[in-house]
A = this chain, B = another copy of it.
Amino acid sequence: MDKWKTLEKKEITRGKIFRYYDVKRQSPDSGDIGNFDVLSFAHWVNIIAITPEGQYVFVEQYRCGTDRVTLEIPGGAIDSGEDPLVAAKRELREETGFTCEELIHLGTVEPNPAFQTNYCHTYLAKDVKRTENQDLDPYEEITIHELSENEVREKLMSGEVNHALVVAAFFYYDNYLKN
């Protein structure tokens, strides 16, 4: 199957975290022409961070989309031109104050290829230590939790932790543990 041909791309508006385009494309198979929503985002990173004691570092924060407080792994947007691994170390440090020597790339997902342009890279940070204070962005209010392996598993299966990018991160982590 071949990809569709882009005939027109028009910026509709800019949000605070995306640019919204209307894109006219044509199927090479059927010849059909349609207009589609495309949201251009920065690429993202997230990090499964584990202390030497085997505790997992989670962040509790209010989320505007679902209008509720969530429990997630640390993560955020990659700055323009920034290496994903550098971004992962930075986001971990800024959101939690935890740092580490080495990061292991676990996997990379497309958050939603249907309408989003971006990727999310997942890293594993082992033996993280709290060496700094949080350095939060405007409107970021984050409470840090250190959860045991059992607590993480229970919250993933009960749905208390249910961010798709976090669940996907643990898919890769479980496969990393198998090898």
Contacts and interface: CB of A to CB of B under 8 A. Distances in A.
A39 B117 CA distance: 16
Contacts of A13: 12-13, 20
A130 interface: no
Given A15-B37, A30-B141, A171-B171, A162 B65 contact: no
Given A1-B69, A113-B70, A175-B157, A164 B162 contact: no
Interface string A72-87: 0000000000000000
Number of chain A interface residues as a range: 35 or more
A27 interface: yes
A157 B65 CA distance: 30
A52 interface: no
Q: State the number of copies, please.
A: 2
Interface string A54-67: 00000011111111
A64 B174 CA distance: 30
B164 A168 contact: yes
Nearest to A179: B157
A99 B76 CA distance: 39
22 contacts: A1-B60, A1-B62, A2-B62, A4-B67, A12-B13, A17-B114, A17-B115, A34-B138, A36-B64, A38-B65, A39-B65, A63-B113, A65-B110, A70-B113, A107-B159, A108-B162, A110-B163, A111-B111, A112-B164, A167-B171, A168-B168, A171-B174
Nearest 10 interchain pairs by C-beta? A63-B113, A167-B168, A171-B171, A109-B164, A36-B64, A15-B37, A66-B113, A34-B139, A65-B115, A65-B116
